[in-house]
Structure formats: C-alpha cells, structure tokens
C-alpha cells in the first residue's frame, strides 16, 4: 500500500535521501526529473508539488511498479 502523501518517506524520495532503484526507464526518468526540479528549487511549495506528482504516479501505477513500491514502503 502506498504511504499517505504526508508520510515523511516522500520528502526522502524527493531529496534523494531514499533512492528508488529500477530497471524501468519510466521510474528512472521520474526520479531524475524530481531530482533536477528539487535542485533548482528546494522551496517547501515546490517540494510539495513534486511529492504530489510522485505520489499520484505511484498510486495510479502501483500494480505495474510493485518492486519500486516495495522500496518506498520498505
């Protein structure tokens, strides 16, 4: 189950403190895009926006990216 959007793990993912490793290009592109966006603007508002986008993605495609979701919750 995907953690709630307010769970601290999302900040860790966005900041790179908790990396998500994947063989899938979609996930790698999402992680890289998040990293670049966060590095350009680490404001709370932008961080919240990145988290919302990432949370929505994983909620929508949870069954497709099960191994990546396991890294988030594990």
- Average pLDDT taken over every residue of the chain: 95
Domains of the chain by residue range: 9-73
Are residues 71 and 20 in contact, defined by beta-carbon separation less than 8 angstroms?
A: yes
Q: 46-60: per-residue pLDDT in tens?
A: 999 999 999 999 999
Tell me the pTM: 0.92
| Torsion (CA) 24, 28, 30, 32 in degrees, nearest 10 | -170
pLDDT tops 90 at residue 74: no
pLDDT score of 2 more than 90:
yes
Mean pLDDT over 22-30 rounds to: 96
């Amino acid at each position: 189950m995907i953690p709630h959007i307010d769970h601290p793990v999302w900040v860790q993912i966005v900041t790179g403190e908790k990396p998500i490793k994947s063989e899938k290009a979609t996930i790698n592109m999402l992680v890289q895009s998040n990293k670049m966006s966060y590095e350009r603007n680490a404001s709370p508002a932008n961080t919240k926006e990145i988290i919302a986008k990432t949370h929505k993605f994983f909620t929508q495609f949870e069954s497709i990216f099960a191994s990546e979701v396991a890294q988030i919750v594990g």
